Each structure stands twice: as structure tokens, then as C-alpha cells.
Amino acid sequence: MKDYFELQYVLTNRKIKEAGLNPLLGYLLALTAFVLLSEYIFQKTEFSKYFVILTCLSLQFKLSEKNRTDFLLSTFGDKTKMRIRIIENLILYMPFFSILLYKSFIIEASILFLCSIILALFSFHSNFNLTIPTPFSKKPFEFSTGFRKTFLIFPVAYALTVIAINVDNLNLGIFAFLLVFLTSFSYYHKPEQEYYVWVHAETPKVFLKNKVLNASKNTTLLAIPIIISLLVFYPSEFELILVFFLIGLLFLWTVILAKYSAYPGEMNLPEGIIIAFSLYFPPLLLAIIPFFYTKSINKLKYLLND
């Protein structure tokens, strides 16, 4: 078991070094970004504690994926596998526990602790054989495949909107609206194989423009029921709702361009830190978007005709 965690530590350090950072500096930057982002979320919404809990559980859920736990079982045996999973979940739990404790949410931190232990005892399939119809075409593939994996989030977001209107809580409606955008961001986390970029008979500029336009259109399609509902019941907050919508689009463009600025590799620590700081101070996006755009153009030139 000790060898397993030492290996994970070495692999993590290697990824940070590949990003061009000293591992110690990488950890410090990640910690700083986490603290600033957490503080920002707690300042902006009264539902921040639930967001923190859901974020922690979603990360732990990925560690409980069946193929992964089956590998641990076959390699280490049942008892050691269970210990590894509990320790992994507790390691992930600690930063979220710290922020909840700092904000005096002791009960929520205790509940999250119990959920972390319980979640370590189970394995989950990440894929289902049920074919879910989508309102999206196969192009772009991100939304057709991503929607099927996350389709349950959207009824939850729409239900939260209804609840927000019934209890007259605009903040909850905004949270539901942002939940749709956060889900759309997740579709652009992993880079596709180079072949799926190469097949586009386009210049890098046209390729990126189409990616951004299609993503904006599809995300708007998913968010429009929430937007219209909030505008109907909170017409006096038109400007606020519009600002959140535009900021959501800017972050969507940033995530897409960040993905291709690191292509064919995955987005790494530098991109993540830049995006995290822009969450804390959104005006930074006006400089970050051109920066990622220029890097993306250069990264795609070897696959697409200029």
C-alpha cells in the first residue's frame, strides 16, 4: 500500500514538472487557487456549502469507478483495496473539510466525512448501456457524448429553478443556471485524438471559431429554460441575469481555448491556475482569452492548414 501512494506522488510530481513548474511551487499555487476560489464562492452564494460538498463527492465518485477499484482489488486484495480507497477519499476530503470548518459548518463537514467513508466502500459503473437521446448532432461530439453522461444534472438544475421561483430565491436560480454552464465546461476537459482534429478541412482560426460558436449555441439551448424562467419572474434583475449569462459564455470560451492551447496534451496545472484566478476576478478573461487563442492557433497549425 505504501508503494502505491509513493507511486501516485511520483506521478503527480511528474505531471507538474511536465507543466514546467517546480512540484513545490505547483502545490502552493494549487492551494492558493483553491483557497481564493472557495472564498469567492462563499462570498457570492448562500448555497456555497452545498457546492463544496457536491464537488468533493463528485471527485470521490470518480475514484470509485468500477474498472479502477477492480484493478486495486486484483493487485492488492480486498482488505488493502478498502484501506487505499478510504485513505484516497480522506486525502480528497481534507481541503474541503478545512474550508467547511473554517466557515463553521461543522455539521456539514461531519456529514461529508461519513459520506467519504461510505463512498469508499462501493464501486460504480461510469457507463450505462441505456442509450439516451440528445438534442445535439454528432458534430460537435462533445455535447452528444457529454450530455449522455451527465443528463441527470439537467433535470436537477431545472428542478432547482422551480424551487427558486417558489421560494422567491434568485440566488438559487442563478446557482441552477451556473450548474448548466459548469456541466458544459466538463465536456471540454479531455482532448480528442489528433485524427478528429485533422479531419476538419479548416484553418485553425475557423476550427476554433466553430468550436466556440457550437458550444455557445448548445449551452444556451440547455440554459434557456432557466434564463427565460428567471427573466419572467425577476424582470427587475434583467441586467444581473444577463451579466451572469455573458460571464458564463466567456468562461466557456476560455475553457475551450485552454484545452487547445495545451493540445494534444491535457489541460494541466498552468491552465487550471489561470482559469481559477479568472474565476476570482472575471475581468482577467479579457486578457486570458486572447492569450489562450494565440497559443491554440500555434498548437493546431501542425494538424490544420493555415
C-alpha cell, 105: 459548518
pLDDT tens digits for range 43-62: 877 778 888 888 888 888 88
For the ranges 129-133, 145-149, 263-267, the one whose mean pLDDT is highest: 263-267
Measure the N-to-C terminal CA separation of the chain; round to a whole number of Å: 51
Would 129 be classed as within a structural domain? no
Q: Are 55 and 155 part of one and the same domain?
A: no
In this predicted model, which residue has the larger pLDDT, 93 or 201?
93
Would 130 be classed as within a structural domain? no
Domain interval for residue 71: 2-119
- Residue at which a domain ends, from 89, 119, 149: 119
Whether 123 shows a pLDDT value over 90: the answer reads: no
User: For residues 71 and 67, what is the distance between their CA atoms, to the nearest angstrom?
Assistant: 6
Give me the pLDDT at residue 287, please.
92
Give me the pLDDT at residue 139, please.
61
Query: Could you give the percent of the chain with pLDDT greater than 70?
Result: 93
- Provide mean pLDDT across the span 58-70: 85
3-state secondary structure of 124: strand
Tell me the whole-structure pTM to 2 decimals. 0.67
Give me the pLDDT at residue 140, please.
65
Query: Could you give the percent of the chain with pLDDT greater than 90?
Result: 37
Please report, for the chain, how many H helices and E strands are present, in that order: 14, 0
User: For residues 253 and 226, what is the distance between their CA atoms, to the nearest angstrom?
Assistant: 21
- Residue at which a domain ends, from 119, 150, 165: 119
pLDDT tens digits for range 239-294: 999 999 999 999 999 999 999 998 888 887 778 888 888 877 888 999 999 999 99
Would 254 be classed as within a structural domain? yes
Give me the half-sphere count of Cα atoms (radius 13 Å) on the Cβ side of residue 84. 23
Q: Are 278 and 175 part of one and the same domain?
A: yes
Q: Are 66 and 12 part of one and the same domain?
A: yes
Q: What's the longest Cα–Cα distance across the chain?
A: 60
Give me the pLDDT at residue 293, please.
94
Q: Are 146 and 240 part of one and the same domain?
A: yes
Whether 137 shows a pLDDT value over 70: the answer reads: no
Spacing of C-alpha 148 from chain mean position: 16
User: For residues 293 and 92, what is the distance between their CA atoms, to the nearest angstrom?
Assistant: 33
Average pLDDT over the chain, rounded to an integer: 86
Whether 130 shows a pLDDT value over 60: the answer reads: no
Would 133 be classed as within a structural domain? no
Q: Are 146 and 294 part of one and the same domain?
A: yes
Would 166 be classed as within a structural domain? yes
Would 190 be classed as within a structural domain? yes
Would 277 be classed as within a structural domain? yes
What is the count of structural domains for the chain?
2
In this predicted model, which residue has the larger pLDDT, 128 or 213?
213
Q: Which residues contact 5 (CB under 8 A, 6 or more apart)?
A: 84, 87
User: For residues 164 and 230, what is the distance between their CA atoms, to the nearest angstrom?
Assistant: 9
3-state secondary structure of 140: coil
Whether 148 shows a pLDDT value over 80: the answer reads: no
User: For residues 224 and 46, what is the distance between their CA atoms, to the nearest angstrom?
Assistant: 23
pLDDT interval class at 129 (50, 70, 90): very low
User: SS3 letters for 188-214?
Assistant: CCCCCCCHHHHCCCCCHHHHHHHHHHH
Q: Are 111 and 147 part of one and the same domain?
A: no
C-alpha cell, 298: 500555434
What single DSSP character describes residue 135? S
Give me the pLDDT at residue 277, please.
81
Would 132 be classed as within a structural domain? no
Residue whose C-alpha is closest to residue 254's, from 220, 206, 287: 287
Q: How many CB atoms lie within 10 A of CB 94?
A: 11
Q: Are 290 and 181 part of one and the same domain?
A: yes
Give me the pLDDT at residue 136, please.
59
Residue pointed to by grid coordinates 456549502: 49
Q: Are 214 and 277 part of one and the same domain?
A: yes
pLDDT interval class at 125 (50, 70, 90): low
